[in-house]
Amino acid sequence: MQLRTRRLSLFTSLLLSVAAGACSGGHGRGDEPSAETTTEGASPTPQSTTLTIKGSDTMVILAQRWAEAFMAANPGTTLQVSGGGSGTGIAALINGTVDLADASRPMKDREKTQIRERRNGEAHEIPVALDALAVYVHDDNPVHSLTIPQLKQIFRGEVTNWNQVGGSDAAIVLYGRENNSGTYAYFKEHVLDDLDFAQEAQSLPGTAAVINAVSHDPGGVGYGGIAYAQGVHTVSVAAEGGQPIEPNMQNALDGSYPLSRFLYVYSVGQPSGLAQRYVEFMLSSAGQALVENVGYYPLPHEGAAEVPAPSGAAAPEAPAEPAQ
């Protein structure tokens, strides 16, 4: 029950943030007045005590937990975290209204060029967690595994009945994310080979909304981050010619699950000052423990080795449990 209300309130807050984003869609994109002061230059000054972070809805709960824990460990600092979608976060980074952008997909070349042109710096990519993108169906749906080509046909609108993929005779109803979502972009690229979703694919704001819709719709199918999977069941996914693999931590970590992906944080140039300390905290064992807590997977060790090793006094003291 508590979970449900949490999900609903998350959903409304996402919608509100969408609305707020739309209302403030002009040049002064920042919902947060302090964003102006911290991002005048290319990167925040070392003395700044405020960080603005925006981006992926998939990551917003995780980012909030990190921010809570970081603020608890570093009194006097303020971290403002908001969602809106990976594209939204990256656009905000390009436009200079945030310090860090959360993204559930790698930055596109065009976006990197825009960062170079607008912000006079290179986009800096930091993988911070691992996620398995899950495909959800209604709890009563007998389908428990699908191949990538089948998923492609389903979401392209070429297969329209569940009995064509081994289910019962029922029309397939497609749910997905809005096109500013990293999950949308990832799915389009990896499952649809960059072809379009079917016209009939409905887009909903946030994975929670997708799951809510699928849980109400016996013929529904949707996709989203694994951390949200409640009230519906996930299907095992098989790569072309491969075995169906269940979306779970083990399979995501060893790379056998075909739809696993990194979650990223982006900055303009190497993060410095507070942003650097925050990045170090996310990659520390305390930060990675929170990743597991929220339902994503911590970075495998080879992934962690690519990024600056955690250092500094603040990180290890951070509590593993978020403030109540």
Inter-residue contact 163 to 169 (CB < 8 Å): yes
Residue 205 or 271 with smaller CB distance to other proteins:
205
> Which residue from 34, 50, 64, 203 is in contact with other proteins, where contact means CB under 8 A?
203
Single out the segment in contact with other proteins by CB under 8 A; choices: 14-22, 41-49, 71-79, 135-143.
14-22
Residue at 255: amino acid letter: G
Is residue 19 near other proteins by the rule CB under 8 A?
Answer: yes
Length of the chain: 324
Residue 140 or 194 with smaller CB distance to other proteins:
194
**Is the Cα torsion angle 137, 180, 57, 104 positive or negative in sign?**
positive
Inter-residue contact 223 to 243 (CB < 8 Å): no
> Which residue from 6, 42, 216, 255 is in contact with other proteins, where contact means CB under 8 A?
216
Q: How far is the CB of 52 from other proteins (least distance, A)?
A: 15
> Which residue from 169, 199, 241, 324 is in contact with other proteins, where contact means CB under 8 A?
199
| Pattern 105-124, other proteins, x by CB under 8 A | ------x--x----------
- Output the CA–CA distances (angstroms, integers) from residue 54 to 61, 71, 99, 126, 219, in the order listed: 12, 17, 8, 15, 34
* Residues 6+ positions from 202 with CB-CB distance below 8 Å: 173, 174, 175, 176, 213
Residue 68 or 111 with smaller CB distance to other proteins:
111
Is residue 15 near other proteins by the rule CB under 8 A?
Answer: yes
Is residue 80 near other proteins by the rule CB under 8 A?
Answer: no
63 half-sphere exposure, CB direction, 13 A CA radius: 28
Is residue 63 near other proteins by the rule CB under 8 A?
Answer: no
Provide the phi-psi class of 122: left if phi over 0, else alpha when psi is between -120 and 50, else beta: beta
Beta-strand (E) ranges in the chain?
50-55, 78-82, 100-103, 123-137, 145-147, 173-177, 202-204, 220-225, 233-234, 236-238, 244-245, 260-268
Is residue 184 near other proteins by the rule CB under 8 A?
Answer: yes
Is residue 179 near other proteins by the rule CB under 8 A?
Answer: yes
> Which residue from 2, 194, 241, 323 is in contact with other proteins, where contact means CB under 8 A?
194
Residue ranges that bind other proteins, judged by CB under 8 A: 12, 15-16, 18-19, 21-22, 25-27, 84-85, 87-88, 91, 94-95, 111, 114, 156, 171, 173-174, 178-180, 184-185, 188, 194-197, 199-205, 213, 216-217, 219-220
